A and B are shown apart, each in its own frame.
Chain A
Amino acid sequence: MKLLRQVRRFLALPSKPVGDAPFRRQTEAWREAWAIVRAYYLIHLLFAAQALSWIDRVRGSAPLLLWPVGWMSLAGIETSAIAVHIFAIAAALFAALWPHVRVLRALSWLGFFEMLALRSSFGYVSHGWHAWLWVGLCFVFLPNRDPVEIESRRCHRQSVLIVVWLAQALLLLFYSLTGGWKLVGAAVQAAQGESHSFSPDALAIQIARSLLMQGSTSTFGAFFIEHQLLGWPFYLLAIYIELFAFVVAFRPAIQRFWGICLSVFHIFIFLTFHLDFLSQFVLVALLFFRSPFAPQHWNWRDMLRAVPLFGAIRRRRGSAMA
């Protein structure tokens, strides 16, 4: 626990007193967190219903079944696929109705896990849904209690907040991993004298690769391929936003702002790369636009202090001047 505290203090900023009513703030925060959980399961139901169309792709097909759906080869793929989808949508429906019941949350996760495993059994794992799946797994660990009971006890409210924070941190970790691999890839490519993620034409190359692979076009893809220098700052900014995302889990002052940045980032990806990360976009909005840990009012000074890297420079300058 001591080590965890030290890590948290290293990544977070020196904390300010919460005010004269910390427990009232905790109650408000838990209500916001619970609203996120309820919304997650309603949207989950929508996604599960949409996924029914995946059944058609399985008909008469020959998937390379991944381990979670390996049993389908014994029971018949088409019949099993229909059964899994019906199970998943029924479990999602019950979880949307009673999100406080742990067994329903677990079953809805299991249904989606099976559905996603089947969908990923065609030579390529559908990683656009990974974050949704992992956040669902985190939510299984929410207290198995009625909301009235949760609200009545501080330790239950705290449990809800920790689980929602874990979901946020895990999602942000995924972005940081993506940014980190870009850094590693750039270092390797630069050492070999090749173009890399920090080259002025990196964004143009990535957009062209994506569009060539899909055999498609995008709204602004051609523009950024032809005007490489205009896209360069956007790409550097995108790497920065990805790389330092995990730190934001420990800095509530900028959680909403980072959520907005990540949403804009996904819109930009769609308009240029023609890649749609719908579930991830929804998750970002859900977990960060009304983050239960964010201050209730925007405070630009606190936000600037909390911005990774640049905030530290600003803080150091401030203390040097003092």
Chain B
Amino acid sequence: MQAYRRLKILAAVVLCGYAVAAVAVKAAFRHEREVFPLFSWSLYSTAPREEADYGLRIMEVGGGALNPPLFVEDAKTFFPYVKQAQLIASVQFLGRALDSGNTEAVKRYRHLLERHHLRGRGAVHYEIVRRRYNTLARWSSGEIKSVSTVATLSTDEAAP
């Protein structure tokens, strides 16, 4: 068989294989959406007016209390180099692990969060919370309908 004929078959296999794998990844790993390097390409697939997620609320940084406490998305001045998408994803994983009582996953995601995202500012006292809000209302006025604490945690980093 000519090389270009083999390539035609390869092209069909790659395209069909990726499409099937993308659907399988989405079906099997609802939250993760990806098994590196396969990605379901499910981006902004839903547009819910009411959002329910986990948030990381910072109470204290380097010994200084924050009044009022800040959600980590609004605390960029403390952690300017943090990749927000990575941080928010880690918070969701940690929240789900805490809720399901998966201590191994809690340990892993807490370690990642504290040793990677929240480092460099001394001890950080924070809460993982469950939030419910209307996306547009929160954007315009900061209103969050309900917040309930899932866990209160602290990093063990010494002050810089």
Contacts and interface: CB of A to CB of B under 8 A. Distances in A.
Tell me whether chain A's interface is mostly helix, strand or loop, or mixed: helix
Interface in A1-25: 1, 4, 7
Interface residues of A, number: 69
Contact of B139 (A66, A138, A175, A208): A208
Category for how many chain B residues contact A = 35 or more
A178 B90 CA distance: 23
Contacts, number: 177
B37 A61 contact: no
Nearest to A188: B46
B12 to A, nearest CB: 5
Contacts of B19: 173, 177
Interface in A184-236: 184-186, 188-189, 194-197, 199, 201-202, 204-206, 208-216, 225
B124 to A, nearest CB: 15
B136 A159 contact: no
Contact of A195 (B43, B48, B85, B117): B48
A103 interface: no
A196 B86 contact: no
Interface stretch (A41-49, A114-122, A257-265): A114-122
Given A64-B112, A120-B36, A209-B135, A195 B26 contact: no
Contacts of B153: none
Nearest to B138: A212
Nearest to A122: B86
Nearest to A228: B136
B36 A199 contact: no
Contact of B7 (A122, A163, A170, A208): A163
A208 B136 contact: yes
B47 A122 contact: no
- Most chain-B CB neighbours within 10 Å: which of A143, A201, A215? A215
A181 interface: yes
B14 A174 contact: no
A163 to B, nearest CB: 6
Given A1-B8, A123-B109, 13 more contacts: A64-B108, A122-B116, A125-B34, A125-B36, A155-B4, A169-B11, A170-B14, A177-B42, A188-B46, A204-B136, A209-B44, A215-B74, A215-B75
Nearest 8 CB-CB pairings of A with B: A185-B45, A123-B90, A215-B73, A62-B115, A177-B41, A208-B139, A124-B89, A124-B86
Interface of B: 2-5, 7-12, 14-15, 18-19, 22, 26, 34, 36-37, 39-49, 51, 73-76, 81, 83-90, 93, 108-109, 111-113, 115-117, 119, 135-136, 138-140
26 contacts: A1-B8, A60-B119, A61-B116, A122-B90, A122-B117, A124-B83, A158-B4, A163-B11, A170-B14, A170-B15, A175-B41, A177-B19, A177-B22, A181-B40, A184-B45, A185-B46, A189-B48, A194-B49, A196-B46, A199-B47, A205-B135, A209-B44, A211-B139, A212-B138, A215-B75, A215-B76
